[in-house]
Each structure stands twice: as C-alpha cells, then as structure tokens.
A and B are shown apart, each in its own frame.
Chain A
C-alpha cells in the first residue's frame, strides 16, 4: 500500500469510526452460555467508549439507550446479541415493568437514524434479517445463518474470541461492502484456525474452538447472498 493509499484509508476509517455504534445485548437466561456477557469487557475495549451501548433490559425504543443525533445520521452498527426464539427479533432481558423480551423491527425505527451497515454477531441473525420486513431498517448486513457455538472457559479461549470480536468491529470499518466485511471476518477465523493447527494449546480448548470457528465460517452470510 502506497503512502497516499494509507492516508486515504486512514481518512476513510476515521470518517467511518464516527459512524460506528457497538451494541451489546446480553441475556441472563443463558447463564454461562451467554457469549455476549462472557466477552463484553473485551468487546468494549475495541471501540471508543462513547460508541458502545449495553442494553441490560427491555426498553421502549432505541432512544432509551441511544441518544438521538442532532440530524439524520447514517450509522454502522455492530451488534453482539442473541436471536429471539422464533427469530422475530433480537432477544433482551425483561424489565421489571414489562413482560416483553424481544426487540422487534419497530424498536429500531427512528426518523433520525439510518443504519448503513449492520454487522450482527448473532446466532441465526440471518434468519431474522432475511425477513423482508427488516430490509428497510437494515438494508445491508453481515450475520450468521446458524448457531455459533463457543468455548470461553480458559484464558487462551477468551483471547481467541477476543481477537474475533476485535476483527468483527474492525471489519465493519475496513470492509467497505458487505462482502468485504464478511471476507475480513472470514480471514480472522481462518487465521485463528491456522494458528491452532500449528500450535494449538489443547488444555485451553483450542480443539473445540477450532471446530466452532469452522461452524461460524460455514454460517457467515450477507444481505448480498440473498439477492
């Protein structure tokens, strides 16, 4: 990459960084199976703190956690969450004053907010987003068409998933198109797999994550795949 390309890339990246929003929606019911809760400290470290929002329980609308921009703004959303059981939206913990536990399409609708790109690290996220009703909220997305299993119970395993989440956030800034974003994420998984194959630490559960990285690779989808 020439010096000019580097300057242009850096300038573009900085512009996109201003658009970045990272949202985390953990789910208490999953207990130790909740990857969002397991990884959230690490995820937060990959984006400027003012761009990170953690939704602990159901609220009425996106504005409940996300301050409205002064004018209509296009955002790049990186979402770490779980699907609702029937793939009608994204699962959320109930609040004490509401039985609702799904963020449906309407929750995301806001006249001042548009999502230029959604990178959803969500099991079966593609199952939600392929519903045409979502296409005007999230016209361009990268997500997974299947469950993503994971092993987090060792320091080494957490480090591996940490690098994947970091790559996921970076991919949203550097990928350009949805395909480019998916390729960046794919590359991150393959890099970990090659690393495990060369020098995996068995006691760290690398064997398990080797399989789960392959599962994630198999499941990765984009809105472009649907057309």
Chain B
C-alpha cells in the first residue's frame, strides 16, 4: 500500500479509535508515516488528548456502549486544539452533525475506499500539525529535510553520473536499440530519462543499484 500522506519528518500523532480490529489492522497495513496509535479504548484516547500527546483523533461512530460523536466532544473539551474526525458507516443525525460542526470535526463514510480516505485525513492532520507547531520546531524539521535532500542529491549525482557516463559511451546513441515494454528505445532517450529522474530513468537507476547489490551478495 502506498498511502503516505505524511512527510517523513513532519509526523503528526494520530489516534484511530475503533472497536473493529479489522479496520485498525487495515490502518496499520496502510503504513502511514505518522505516529499512529490504534486503539479500541476510549479512556486511553481521552487520556492521550488530555496529556497533549496527540494531534488528531479519528473515531468510529458506533461502538459498544459508546457514541463516537460524544467521545470527540469530550476530546474537544479536554483539548480544543486537537484535530477531530468521525468515521461512520451511517449518516449522522442532524443533532450529531450540529455537535460535529461545533467542535470543528469532519465526518467520513467508511464504505468509501479506505486509502483515499486515510490520505485525506492524513493531509488534514498534517496541516493542523504544521499550523500548530512552534516556529523553532518547524525550522529544525525543515533543516533536517534539507540535509536529507542534499544527501539524496549527492547520492543521485554520484550514481547516475557513473551510469550516464557509461551509457554515453555506447555507440549509436539515437538508434532505437533497446527492446523495452514501450517498444524500441534509444540510449539517448534513456540517458535523458535518467538525468531528469523520469519514471523510466528511476526504474533503470533502481535496477542498476539492485544489480550492484546482487553482485556484492554473489561474491560473499
């Protein structure tokens, strides 16, 4: 699964509260790069909210002996700045909608495809997190991101430089000599794809790197 609405460094803390373990397993499998807590326990959720250890709460509506709207209402009372969302298989009543509006909570239908739904919730959680974060903390995170980016650029330049240099030494650059899924491809086109990190170029860089690993392992 590839639903990754959260950036690598900016990681909001999100609680998913649901009595349906299968749903929680699905959220876990979606591998969100957020600090997720998956729980069936209302008290645990509210304790986290009270302790300011969560940025966003996503609750199921109908749980045994619990009304999700009421849980979100209590979470809002405990910490008005926490982000809230309700997941439901049913249309909330007019009264429930009124409460949700008051506490600035959105509601989503569970029947929909889960990954886009998680992406949307994740996007909201991330926005809220970035909005709330201390400027100093954000600067620090941006610095870490920039350092990672620089490192990636250096690695990319080193690897692809070597690769492109080798490919450029093959004669007949313009002839469509490579048999690929998309039909014949010229080496010049491939070099261009690698330099500009287009999907086909990235695919080749990955094969190149994996090939190096295969050879290394074969020698061991």
Compute how far the CA of A153 lies from the CA of B184 in the bound complex, rounded to whole angstroms: 12
B205 to chain A, nearest CB (A): 9
Which residue of B has the minimal Cβ distance to A207? Answer: B166
Interface string of A202-226 (1 = CB under 8 A from B): 1111011011111101100000000
CB distance from B208 to the nearest CB of A (A): 5
Tell whether, in the assembled complex, residue B179 and residue A152 are in contact, meaning their CB atoms are under 8 Å apart. yes
In the complex, what distance in Å separates the CA atom of A149 from the CA atom of B183?
10
The answer on a CB contact under 8 Å between A151 and B177 is yes
Determine which residue in B172, B177, B190, B210 has the highest number of CB atoms from chain A within 10 A of its CB, and name it: B177
Q: Contact residue range for chain B?
A: 20 to 34
Q: Are A214 and B172 in contact (CB under 8 A)?
A: no
Alpha-carbon separation in the docked complex, A153 to B177 (Å): 6
The answer on a CB contact under 8 Å between A214 and B179 is no
Q: Are B176 and A214 in contact (CB under 8 A)?
A: no
Q: Does A30 contact B (CB under 8 A)?
A: yes
Q: Decide: B184 and A33 in contact? CB cutoff 8 A.
A: yes
Q: Is B131's CB within 8 Å of the partner chain A? A: no
Q: A31-B184, A32-B179, A33-B183 are in contact. Are A213 and B166 (CB under 8 A)?
A: no
Q: A194-B215, A197-B215, A203-B169 are in contact. Are A210 and B180 (CB under 8 A)?
A: no
User: B residues bordering A, Cβ < 8 Å?
Assistant: 163, 166-167, 169-172, 175-181, 183-184, 187, 190, 204, 207-208, 210-212, 214-215, 218-219
* Known contacts A33-B176, A151-B179; 12 further A-B pairs (Cβ under 8 A): A30-B183, A32-B179, A32-B184, A147-B180, A153-B177, A190-B215, A193-B214, A202-B170, A203-B169, A208-B170, A211-B207, A214-B214
Q: Interface size on A (CB < 8 Å)?
A: 33
Q: Assess whether B172 is in contact with A153, with CB atoms less than 8 Å apart.
A: yes
Report the minimal beta-carbon distance from B188 to chain A, rounded to whole angstroms: 13
B218, A149: Cβ atoms closer than 8 Å: no
Contact A202-B178, Cβ < 8 Å, known A32-B184, A193-B218, A211-B207: no
* A207 pairs with B163, CB closer than 8 A: yes
A166-214 residues at the B interface, CB under 8 angstroms: 190, 193-194, 197, 202-205, 207-208, 210-214
Q: State how many angstroms separate the Cβ of B145 from the closest Cβ of chain A.
A: 30
